[in-house]
């Protein structure tokens, strides 16, 4: 009797397990994973007692302008409501299931049928962690133990969740609302501070501490969160994700077959790996990364791909909580010039290898 029995199956009927043995089960997150989310909620709620104190003491009792008080409260609590609505979407919505196994209603016993035309060795087309096909622009998150469609990044501040195809608009909506809220609070308390310093004897001493705290907190959050917001505005305008923008060597997996090197030189795999490149070749890839934007189809269409809607009232979800991106998240329109630029990059890499 043999010690090991191999059970061969035809690739067309092969069934894959939804979760590899060494991946992380997302359902086993402990309370520690949600502590940053609790900190996010606390930071959103912490300013409100001081805000109410300032608007009542300053705008109502000192200036005697109840209408201005109502305007400030309406603006602040509208932005707070919108921030919480998009925060809930980022935490509760699946960022983007790669296959049917990740969709609700599929049991753990259900398998994934793999056809014969799947390129198992194709770079970026097969996840060796999930052991399943990986669509274009999808990435495997080691924290969540799964692949995510058009993954942007893993965010511990939003319940240790990934930001992907279905939650990226809500994430940008959240950054926008928090930036506007912090800016509004900073300006409101800046004017209040200016009045307080010019009318020292007419105001309660306690109001100075509240106004000063709100002003500096608003400035700090507006600068910190606002910088992330402007960064993602740039990413949307150029149709990039955070991973694609920061990982220059991801271009290597999109290279066409390398031209033959007849004059010798260092041989590269096809496509090459990062560790195979010389210093000069690495420099060439980094320089090309700033110019080759594979999915940039014009800023209007780029924004439409992320925030576009269909139907007459599709703008309402975008306004309330950010909505979701258009398309299935598995296929994307390419920049028509990207193939020529990738071919040029491949030729330059081979030429740099000859020189070394």
- Per-residue model confidence as pLDDT tens digits over 164-216: 999 999 999 999 999 999 999 999 999 988 988 888 767 777 888 899 999 99
Tell me which of 164 and 356 has the higher pLDDT.
Answer: 164
Asked, for residue 182, whether it belongs to a domain, the answer is yes
User: Is this structure's pTM higher than 0.95?
Assistant: no
pLDDT in tens, 307-338: 988 888 888 989 999 988 988 898 899 999 99
Domain that holds residue 310: 245-355
The residue from 214, 244, 274 where one domain ends is 244
Higher-pLDDT residue of 73 and 27 is 73
Tell me, yes or no, whether 303 lies in a domain. yes
287 and 150 in a single domain? The answer is no
Q: Is the pLDDT of residue 117 over 90?
A: no
Last residue of a domain, one of 228, 244, 260: 244
Same-domain status, 218 and 276: no
Strand ranges, E, within 49-200: 112-113, 126-127, 132-133, 139-141, 146-148, 153-155, 161-163
Let me know if residue 18 belongs to a domain. Answer: no
- Residues 184, 236, single domain; the answer is yes
* 153 and 53 share one domain: yes
- Alpha-carbon gap, residue 316 to 173, rounded angstroms: 13
Same domain flag for 234 and 251: no
Residue after which a domain boundary falls, among 213, 244, 275: 244
Domain count, the chain: 2
Q: Do 87 and 229 sit in the same domain of this protein?
A: yes
Per the prediction, the chain carries an average pLDDT of 83
Q: Is residue 130 domain-shared with residue 268, that is, in the same domain?
A: no
pLDDT at 295 over 70: yes
- One domain for residues 254 and 234: no
**Whether residue 156 sits in one domain with residue 65:** yes
Phi, psi (rounded to 5 degrees) for 64: 55, 50
Instruction: Let me know if 155 is a catalytic residue.
Output: yes
pLDDT tens digits, residue range 217-252? 999 999 999 999 999 999 999 999 999 999 999 988
pLDDT value of residue 15: 41
Q: Which of 90, 144, 147, 155 is catalytic?
A: 155
pLDDT score, position 276: 85
Residue 2 belongs to a domain: no
Of residues 73 and 21, the one with the higher pLDDT is 73
Residue 96 has pLDDT above 70, yes or no: yes
On whether residue 172 sits in a domain, the answer given is: yes
**Would 312 be classed as within a structural domain?**
yes
Rounded distance between C-alpha atoms, residue 294 and residue 210, angstroms: 49
Residue 263 confidence class, pLDDT cut points 50, 70, 90: low
- Please indicate, yes or no, if residue 273 is contained in any of the structural domains: yes
Q: Side-chain half-sphere of 275: how many Cα atoms within 13 Å?
A: 0
Same domain, 127 and 196: yes
- Do 315 and 197 belong together in one domain? no
**Residues 135 and 253 reside in one and the same domain:** no
């Amino acid at each position: 009797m043999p010690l090991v029995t191999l059970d061969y199956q035809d690739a067309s009927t092969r069934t894959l397990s939804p979760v590899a043995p060494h991946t992380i089960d997302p359902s086993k997150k402990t309370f520690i994973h949600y502590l940053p989310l609790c900190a996010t909620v606390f930071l959103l709620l912490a300013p409100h007692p001081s805000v109410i104190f300032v608007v009542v003491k300053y705008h109502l009792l000192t200036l005697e302008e109840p209408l201005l008080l109502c305007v400030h409260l309406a603006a602040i609590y509208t932005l707070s409501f919108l921030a919480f609505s998009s925060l809930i979407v980022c935490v509760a919505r699946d960022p983007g299931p790669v296959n049917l196994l990740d969709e609700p209603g599929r049991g753990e016993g259900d398998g994934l049928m793999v056809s014969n035309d799947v390129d198992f060795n194709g770079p970026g087309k097969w996840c060796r962690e999930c052991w399943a096909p990986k669509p274009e622009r999808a990435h495997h998150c080691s924290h969540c133990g799964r692949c995510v469609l058009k993954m942007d990044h893993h965010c511990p501040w939003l319940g240790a969740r990934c930001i992907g195809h279905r939650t990226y608009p809500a994430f940008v909506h959240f950054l926008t609302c928090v930036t506007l809220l912090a800016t509004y609070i900073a300006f409101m308390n800046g004017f209040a501070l200016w009045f307080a310093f010019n009318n020292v004897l007419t105001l309660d001493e306690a109001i100075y501490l509240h106004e000063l705290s709100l002003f500096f907190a608003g400035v700090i959050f507006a600068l910190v969160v606002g910088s992330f917001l402007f960064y993602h505005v740039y990413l949307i305008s150029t149709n990039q994700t955070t991973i694609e923008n920061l990982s220059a060597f991801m271009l290597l997996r999109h290279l066409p077959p390398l031209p033959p090197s007849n004059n010798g030189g260092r041989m590269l795999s096809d496509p090459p790996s990062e560790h195979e490149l010389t210093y000069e070749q690495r420099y060439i890839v980094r320089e090309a990364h700033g110019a080759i934007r594979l999915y940039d189809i014009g800023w209007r269409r780029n924004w439409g791909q992320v925030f576009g809607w269909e139907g007459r009232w599709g703008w309402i979800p975008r306004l309330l909580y950010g909505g979701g991106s258009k398309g299935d998240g598995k296929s994307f329109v390419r920049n028509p010039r990207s193939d020529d630029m990738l071919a040029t990059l491949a030729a330059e890499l081979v030429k740099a290898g000859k020189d070394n």
